[in-house]
Amino acid sequence: MTTDQLYQDRELFQRISMGDEDAFRTFFHHYNKLLLPFVVKLVSGLHDPAEILQEVFLRLWKHRRKLAEVDNPKAYIVRIVSNEATTYLQKLARQNRLMEKAIRQRNQEPLTPEQYIALKETVRLVTDAVEQLSPACRQVYILSREENLSLPQIAEKLELSENTVKNQLVKALKDIRQHIRKNGLSTFLSFPIIF
């Protein structure tokens, strides 16, 4: 990156931090083209890279007041893109694990297309709900339901009391059930996944 480009990017970040939509548009059009191949490489065809970039620029605009403090805008946005792609891949892995677990638990007859679609939607809702949990609840839920650790094992690993772990897990499950109900799916569909 040339010194001129760095200066221009810093100036754009200053203007964006003050809510200048034209500056944001200029920055978006310049970096959207540059970052697209990077995102394609990071998610390797698993997702529409334009959606990830859209999320990156949306996050940038939401937190624009912080941009005035950024010394290297290019490095800053590359870091955001990398973090967003990592978050997406973690979410995808979590969804795949939940789908596999639900299908294993239903070892009877194969799923009908309708059941498969309902299961896929439930997994998406559970994944979204897990992302919205507090960090403590999310960590306990993942250790319990995705890594299959017992309450004593989680308590030991996190250096917490078993009662605290149990309370965090109960809260996580309650919040997940509420999220699923709020989004129109009945709890019985998610039963094998979250309990």
Q: What is the pLDDT of residue 134?
A: 92
H helix intervals, the chain: 3-17, 21-43, 49-62, 73-105, 113-132, 135-141, 151-158, 162-182, 187-194
What percentage of the chain exceeds 70 in pLDDT? 86
Residue 2 pLDDT greater than 60, yes or no:
yes
**Per-residue pLDDT reduced to its tens digit, 85-103:** 888 887 777 777 777 776 6
45's enclosing H/E stretch is: none
Which tops the pLDDT comparison, 185 or 161?
161
CB burial readout 128-163, b (16+ within 10 A) else e: ebbeebeebbbbbbbbbbeeebebeebbeebebeee
- The mean per-residue pLDDT over the stretch 3-8 comes to 83
Q: In 10 A of CB 54, how many CB atoms?
A: 14
Give pLDDT, residue 185: 61
Considering only residues 16 and 190, tell me which one the structure prediction assigns the higher pLDDT. Answer: 16
Give the pLDDT of residue 195.
46
What pTM does this model have? 0.57
Q: Decide: residue 33, CB within 10 A, 0-12 exposed, 13-18 middle, 19+ buried.
A: exposed
Q: Please report which confidence band the pLDDT of residue 122 belongs to, taking 50, 70 and 90 as the band edges.
A: confident
Q: Which residue has the higher pLDDT, 173 or 119?
A: 173
**pLDDT at position 13 over 80:** yes
Could you tell me which residues come within 8 angstroms of residue 145 by beta carbon, excluding any fewer than 6 positions away? 194
**Between these two residues, 123 and 166, which has the higher pLDDT value?**
166
Q: Which tokens in the block code for residue 11?
A: 């100036």
pLDDT over threshold 50, residue 187: no
**Among 18-27, 100-109, 121-130, which stretch is predicted with the lowest mean pLDDT?**
100-109
The domains found in the chain, sorted by start residue, are 3-89 (1.10.1740.10), 106-194 (1.10.10.10)
